[in-house]
Structure 1
Amino acid sequence: TASKRAYVGESLVLRTEFEGPDGAVAVTDFMALAQGSLGHDIGKRVPHALVRIVEGIRGRVTLEMELVARFEYGLALPWLEAREGVVEMRAGPTVLRLESDGPVDLESDRITAHFEIDQGQSRSFVLRAIDPLDDAAQDRSSDGTASELLEATLEGWRSWNELHVSYDGEASALARRSAVVLQGLTDARTGAVIAAPTTSLPAHLGRGDTWDYRYVWLRDLSFTMRALWVAACPTEADRFLGFLAHSLGRPGDRHVPIVLGSDGRRDISEHQLDHLAGHRDNRPVRVGNQAWDQRQLDVMGEVLDSAYLLREQIPEFDPETREMLRDFADRAAAGWREPDAGMWEARDRERHYTSSKVMCWVALDRAVKLSARLGEGIDTAGWERERDEIHATVVREAWSDSAGAYAGAFGSDELDASVLLMPLVDFLPATDSRMAATIRHIDEGLSQGPLIRRWKDEQNGFVICSYWLVECLALMGDVDAARERFEALNGLANDLGLMGEMFDPASGQIMGNFPQTFSHVGMINASWRLTELGRRSAPGE
């Protein structure tokens, strides 16, 4: 049985100790970094290798290894071939190669190994993904042995941390762990940060909300940028913005996708894998995400807010980024009166969502402030006019007398946690009487312990919204309540400091795709908010 596990230092190398009646072993698992890949370059060139090293700690332990590979989401059963000390698994466009420093057995559709480990001994396994069409990729032995890959991976993480993980704010250890998680979720080739590395883990049991999150959401951009700026460094944030401009291409009348592949792909159309049962029999299993084709007006604000956040780190926007920012401001000015799917990606109907209008206001507000850096021929006065009209419209149309709060959509009286963004993006101060009432009503009406739900009928708490409430309470001046909730939320991370999208307070289970960028971003940003407010109120500040 596993007795304890932890990451090795500030890395994603996982060490787990197992205790048995006759001894104990340590199992080290990691995705390998390339030898000589250091600092900002980690992950740009990778061996595509998953490594496991088993070491004897005490006594003698008998172990069994079993590898059952399935390709194309289980549709293809691979051929197994042992040759030259390795076993290759081949099917379709994929080849997996298992290397081991001891004997393995082929048993029809699986690879097994039975072995004993004494104290001081070790056994290693390296599973590599090989492109069968790339002759240069066929020989990966030059990437190193398991122990050499471990040394290179730890050195890569150490070098990255020397440049990045120096944050010393509230709950600094968890914030630093979250920064490492964000780096692990980053496609280093492009700087794009995916929402999660998994698909189809249910947000609720038995409700079919099993989505594929292995993509990049524009909606998450400004929150992620701030978190990278706070707990990592501006280099990562800068690369992310450049990736977006290059991926979207030349501005035009085309639909702006709200989700992209980490390589910049637009079309990630969704389909279901009906032959798979799903996690705990929760169907359907999905590949792709149809949200890419939705209309979500808030994304323009996310992108322009990101650019504004990085204004001091980026001396001059490149031409592609400049054109993208101008185009997004114009789109916000022209389209804010239209309904959309909202930031929660409603699939049944479009509405006039409050948060979408607020983020259109953000787009125009930031565009006006950045106008001197966006080139010639800008209608700044037009942007200002539309910005002010959005503000007046939201204040008038989003307020619900019956709810005593700003509602989630115009003409509604339903509370929605997304309106907590209003003070966080400087649309209204948290101390504004109506905004303060909204924060209190959301706290009272949507809370489940330290968590809040996105809306009343939702069963589980949504982690980033709960951290938004922490920020709002702090901005209202109730720092003690904010810190108490913040500490309770941090306690919901698992033993490795990882967070999912949602949390079921009844069962105590982390729910949704995992680990979730949005949740780790929320933690970092709430930590920064509490830290900054604490410094401002400190004597002598």
Structure 2
Amino acid sequence: MTPSEPSSLDLAIVGNCSVAALIDKMARVVWMCLPRFDGDPVFHALLGTRGAAGDGAFSIDLENACRSEQAYIENTAVVVTRLYDEAGNAVEITDFAPRFQTKGRMFRPTGLVRRVRPIAGHPRIRVRCRPRFDHGTRVPEVSYGSNHMRFVGNGQTVRLTTNASITYVRDETPFLLDGPVSFYFGPDESLTHHPETLCREFEEETVLHWRLWTRRLGLPLDYQEAVIRAAVTLKLCTYEETGAIIAAATTSIPEAANSGRNWDYRYCWLRDAFFVVRALNSLSEMETMENYLRYINNIASMTGADHVQPLYGIALEEKLVETTVDLPGYRGMGPVRIGNQAYEHFQHDVYGNIVLGASQAFFDKRLLRQPGVDDFERLERIGERAFAMHDQPDAGLWELRTRARVHTSSSLMCWAACDRLAKIARQFDRIERAVLWQERADAIHATILARGWNEKVGAFVESFEGQDLDASLLLIAEVGFLPPQDPRFVATVERIGETLRRGKHLFRYHAADDFGAPENAFNICTFWYIDALARIGRKDEAREIYETMLACRNHVGLLSEDTNPATGELWGNFPQTYSMVGIINGAMRLSEGWESLV
């Protein structure tokens, strides 16, 4: 029950839109980057360690533990783990990152709270807090005070403050837990109150914040538990300071065992971010879109009419140079990559994703800041690029590293950019601009019908004049390119199901890529397939597959990027925003209406 390293993605995420941490079933913090999502993983045991067992983790171990229970406090980002030993002793550990309104602003420090209390018998615990710096290569210098420990190294200092015995914590001595103790791990600052009092207040305020936040969501009638957990998780993947949205909290969890498909997802892909914004908008959570608009407005202003990268750092960093670091990797399956070479790619769907991500704001009167004509003109520069690139080769949605084609899905998103700009222009009574953008959208539309449809295959294909299928073609109806009942879309859905479906899971594509043939199904593709089936009238089948996907979630309702269709095992970076988006979209598509209760 107490392996030295995690062996699966049975993890819970806690966070506050500044930092995030992953907690395993035995209440060990096995992943946390500081001072932000893409920072140094001071707790990195999820990817192994070059030091002793227990390095790169923050564990609170119950002696002779034999089982555990773990769950979120309902409708919150606060997780509770209960550990039980063979004699019936038990402890409860509550983990969260503080987040709540105070003094007219959101309080979201780069810190983690851990509260521990005995719940049965006379438990003995051992606390081991072993942060490591510089991706696990540097053991910090440690100093001590009467109720804190300071860890210094690699240009940053973090502090652990507690009302537990500092001597026991320092020496990792097992001790009898005869009352509640709290730990605050974060900036090198003195706490203003007793640790137990302050951490209890932080917990109460944080629980209240998340319950009020979820109460404002516009939920479907069915699948509410799954939708709430997905929505909270998506919110945790937003970097509130800049408005960026990360693709996942981790790096280098392989897409399949020993595949080498290990990537760093702690950055903002404009494609993924659009889908996150759209999913949260469907639940009437508008704040994320408002914050994200600040982020993409900055990108649009700094790129002008030039090439736009498919991803940027969470503080607008352009160069995300990909390197490897000396960690063993998840379950020993390296390499561990930092940075992502995809920032160098040409992926022309990005222009459509920018415009789509912003378009609702021009029509939604609830926003505190209503976009103006200047915002529209800034988007037009993105649209110019979309029109220029709609029939040019790129790396495509799946970021192929050694091959360029004119990908149908990229052209589809360029069409969407021009189509939405025409609608926004009409909103501002810019009739000449509306006509121009509609003409451009129509031209791209005709090109896709002529070059993206393969009569021999009987479906749209992944690249112009190509013959292979690709799950991204399922977005044709979602973005409004064709109505769902168009025979060409129906045929494409059917061909994709015949070719890419394995059981109740869908692969991205079947052709070999830079790393060979894909081994695991891509979760968002399965959700796209669910949506497409429902749109073309196969709703019962869609619901069956959707509920299979819900069953693939881990014990606290989270999904990673990929699933092994034979075993249901989760693979890929975690938690994956794309996958959590799919949970929301599927529920919104398949749920019965509230009117059925009246």
The TM-score normalised by the length of structure 1 is 0.90
- State the distance in 2 between where 1:34 and 1:170 align: 29
Q: Is the 8 A contact 2:423 2:434 kept in 1?
A: no
**1:79 lines up with 2:79 in the alignment:** no
Q: Deviations over 1:321-358 (max 9, x none)?
A: 32331111111112212111111111112111110011
CA separation in 2, counterparts of 1:355 and 1:61? 57
* Corresponding residue of 2:129: 67
Instruction: Give 2:347's aligned residue.
Output: 296
Q: How far apart are the structure 2 equivalents of 1:221 and 1:196?
A: 11
1: CA distance, partners of 2:432 / 2:267: 33
Say which of 470, 481, 485 aligns to 1:431: 485
Give structure 1 stretches of 5+ with no counterpart.
Answer: 131-137
Shift of 1:250: 4.4
The C-alpha deviation readout for 1:1-43, integer Å capped at 9, x for no partner, is: 33321101211111011111221111111122257389xx6xx
Contact 1:234 1:313 in 2 (8 A): no
SS in 1 for 2:584: helix
Aligned-pair RMSD on alpha carbons? Answer: 2.5
Shift of 1:516: 0.8
- The aligned residue for residue 133 of structure 1 is none
Quote the Cα distance in structure 1 between the aligned partners of 2:574 and 2:145: 37
User: Residues 124 and 538 (structure 1 numbering): CA distance in 2 closer, same or farther, change over 3 Å?
Assistant: closer
CA contact (8 A) 2:131 2:140 kept: yes
Question: What does 1:1-400 align with in structure 2 at a 5 Å threshold?
Answer: 1-22=66-87, 23-33=89-99, 36=102, 44-105=106-167, 112-118=172-178, 121-130=179-188, 138-141=189-192, 145-162=198-215, 164-273=216-325, 275-314=326-365, 316-318=370-372, 321-373=375-427, 379-400=433-454
Q: SS where residue 444 of structure 1 aligns?
A: helix
Provide the secondary structure at the position in 2 that maps to 1:458: coil
Tell me if structure 2 keeps the 8 A contact 1:399–1:405: yes
SS in 1 for 2:413: helix
Tell me the CA shift for residue 293 of structure 1: 2.2
Distance 2:478 2:304 in 1: 31
- Whether contact under 8 Å (1:49, 1:128) holds in the other structure is yes
Relative to 1, partners in 2 of residues 1:358 and 1:537: Cα closer, same or farther, differing over 3 Å? farther
Provide the residue aligned with 2:570 in structure 1. Answer: 510
- Could you tell me whether the CA contact under 8 Å between 1:504 and 1:511 is conserved in 2? yes
Rate the CA distance shift 1:269–1:318 in 2: closer, same or farther, 3 A: farther
Among 546, 549, 552, which residue is 1:489 paired with? 549
CA distance in 2 between partners of 1:429 and 1:536 (Å)? 26
1:329/1:24 Cα in 2 relative to 1: closer, same or farther (>3 Å)?
same
SS at match of 1:53: strand
Separation in 1 of the partners of 2:407 and 2:518?
18
Instruction: Identify if the C-alpha distance between structure 1 residues 278 and 141 changes in structure 2 by more than 3 Å, giving closer, same or farther.
Output: farther
In structure 1, distance between residues paired with 2:401 and 2:116: 47
Shift of 1:249: 2.1
Where 1:5 maps in the other structure, the secondary structure is strand
Aligned residues: 521
Checking the alignment, whether the CA contact within 8 Å between 1:301 and 1:360 is kept in structure 2 is yes
Q: Deviations over 1:287-310 (max 9, x none)?
A: 111212211111111122223333
- 1:306 partner letter: G
Distance 1:444 1:344, change over 3 A: same
| d(CA) in 1 for partners of 2:434, 2:334 | 49
Q: Contact between 1:278 and 1:285, CA under 8 Å: does it hold in 2?
A: yes
User: 1:253 deviation in Å?
Assistant: 4.2
Matched-pair contact (CA < 8 Å) for 1:104–1:112: no
Output the TM-score relative to the length of structure 2: 0.82
Are the counterparts in 1 of residues 264 and 340 from structure 2 also a CA contact under 8 Å? yes
TM-aligned CA deviation for residue 526 of structure 1: 2.0
Give the deviation of 1:517 after TM superposition: 0.7
In 2, Cα distance between equivalents of 1:453 and 1:129: 43
Q: 1:149 to 1:113 in 2, by over 3 A?
A: farther
Give yes or no for contact 2:81–2:93 (8 Å, CA) kept in 1. yes
| Secondary structure of the structure 2 residue equivalent to 1:63 | strand
**CA distance in structure 2 between the aligned counterparts of 1:327 and 1:139, rounded to whole angstroms:** 49
Offset, 1:147: 1.8
Structure 1 pair 12–402 and aligned structure 2 pair: CA distance change class (3 A): same
Partner SS for 1:505: coil
Distance in 2 of aligned mates of 1:378 and 1:111: 74
Which SS does the other structure have where 1:491 is aligned? helix
In the aligned structure 2, how far is the partner of 1:473 from the partner of 1:330? 34
- CA distance in structure 2 between the partners assigned to 1:386 and 1:166 by the alignment: 36
Contact 1:322-1:375 within 8 A present in 2 as well: no
Higher alpha-carbon deviation: 519-528 or 300-309: 300-309
Secondary structure of the corresponding residue to residue 206 of structure 2: helix
Percent identity over the alignment? 33
Check whether the contact 2:454–2:466 (CA below 8 A) recurs between aligned residues: yes
Instruction: Letter of the 2:346 partner, please give it.
Output: R
Q: Take 2:575 and 2:103, find their aligned partners in 1: how far apart are those partners?
A: 24
Contact persistence 1:25–1:57 (CA under 8 A): yes
CA drift at 1:504: 1.1
CA contact (8 A) 2:307 2:385 kept: no
Matched, 1:411 2:465: yes
CA contact (8 A) 2:101 2:107 kept: no
Which residue of the other structure, out of 448, 453, 469, is the alignment partner of 2:529? Answer: 469
What residue ranges of structure 2 are gaps of 5+ in the alignment? 1-65, 511-516
